Amino acid sequence: MYIENVLKVKNDWWRYIIGCLVIFIATQIGSIPLILAIFSKVGVEGASKIDQTSMMTILGDSNLTFFYVLLTFVFGFLGLLLVVKYIHNQTFLSLTTSRKKVDFSKIATSFIVACFIILTTTIISYLMSPDDYIYNFELKPFLILCLISFLLVPIQTSWEEYMFRGYLMQGIGGIVKNKWIPLLITSLSFGFLHYWNPEVMKLGSILLIHYVSTGLFLGIITLMDKGMELAIGFHAGNNILISLLVTADWTVFQTNSILKSIGEPEAISMLIPLFIIYPMVLLYFSKKYNWINWKENLTGKIN
């Protein structure tokens, strides 16, 4: 069982407090290049007035801004690796899966599923409201974007997965000795981590339902599949294709994507995955991988 892996390592509650602090410091170190780049353009006083959506305008290059933002997660991921190894004496494999080796075929399958969903929904949205989009494609910036996205976005999404569906889910599960509490806490914390995203600022706090439900979906497939492979692949596919296909002035990813949305967004359109897409993906995965004992896997005790 996946969460039970934590019972084989140093899992004292205070180690997770220290671990989270170290990881937080690592992400702050990773943000220094972005901060310095902004200071060099507008100074300290000007930097204090900047929001996330204005960074690209200040730095003058969306690819450069995107790189700096993703660099934060590279440092955070390195911090997480150090914490797992030296504070918990845990292997990266046991943090990833209950299997004897990482199942890369599941990562690939989930990645393709997420890409298919994003591609399909984007095409449908474009066909329904073509006036809400403008053609944004420029070959050279797009090729640079592809390089950045395929190299660094998987690190960003993997950091989030290993932090929430891995480190915290196992850690909390080891402390409370059940599965539903870590599933609930990590889903809520994952959702509220996105509170400061420009999308939430634009559409309102109701959009947090989308992020919490996404965290819940990723947590469910992790517990049901007894490993993070599906969650890792799905999250990476989702974010990579979003970064390449469409951007907007109010989104967290300001990129040289193929399309740019200029329409007025509606929160309800971003809540569709909660009611339609995620249940369909859960059904598909459950049939493909023969998931059984849902109640035990999602709410059972940890012995």
Are 15 and 172 in contact by the 8 Å Cβ rule? The answer is: no
Report how many domains make up the chain.
Answer: 1
Gap between the Cα atoms of 256 and 242, Å rounded: 11
Are 218 and 232 in contact by the 8 Å Cβ rule? The answer is: no
Q: How confident is the model at residue 38 (pLDDT cuts 50, 70, 90)?
A: confident
Name residue 261's beta-bridge partners: 133, 248
The token duo for 265 is 């967004």
Gap between the Cα atoms of 219 and 225, Å rounded: 10
Tell which residue, 280, 292, 291, 294, has the closest CA to residue 113.
280
Gap between the Cα atoms of 232 and 194, Å rounded: 18
Q: How confident is the model at residue 204 (pLDDT cuts 50, 70, 90)?
A: confident
151-154 long-range contacts, CB within 8 A, separation 24+ = 152/67, 152/70, 152/71, 152/73, 152/74, 153/70, 153/236, 153/239, 153/240, 153/243, 154/236, 154/240
Residue 123: exposed, middle, or buried by beta-carbon count in 10 A (0-12, 13-18, 19+)? exposed
Segment 75-96 shows an average pLDDT of: 97
Tell which residue, 240, 71, 75, has the closest CA to residue 153.
240
Tell which residue, 95, 97, 101, has the closest CA to residue 224.
97
Which pLDDT does position 53 carry in this prediction? 53
More confident residue, 26 or 37: 26
Tell which residue, 227, 264, 261, 196, has the closest CA to residue 95.
227
The token duo for 72 is 């934060």
Angle separating helix axes 278-288 and 104-128, nearest 10 degrees: 150
- Enclosing domain of residue 12: 3-299
DSSP per-residue codes, 218-257: HHHHHHHHTBSHHHHHHHHHHHHHHHHHEEETTSS-----
Segment 20-47 shows an average pLDDT of: 84
Phi-psi category of 43—alpha, beta or left, where left has phi over 0 and alpha has psi -120 to 50? left
Segment 214-220 shows an average pLDDT of: 96
Judge whether residue 41 has pLDDT over 80: no
More confident residue, 58 or 280: 280
More confident residue, 273 or 110: 110
> Distances from the Cα of 59 to the Cαs of 30, 48, 52, 137, 249, in angstroms?
17, 15, 12, 20, 15
Q: How confident is the model at residue 108 (pLDDT cuts 50, 70, 90)?
A: very high
pLDDT by residue (tens digit) across 120-157?
999 999 999 899 999 999 999 999 999 999 999 999 99
The most distant pair of C-alpha atoms in the chain lies apart, rounded to whole Å, by 57
Segment 107-114 shows an average pLDDT of: 98
Q: Which strand (E) or helix (H) includes residue 267?
A: helix 267-270
Which pLDDT does position 219 carry in this prediction? 97
Q: Which strand (E) or helix (H) includes residue 259?
A: strand 259-261
Judge whether residue 200 has pLDDT over 90: no
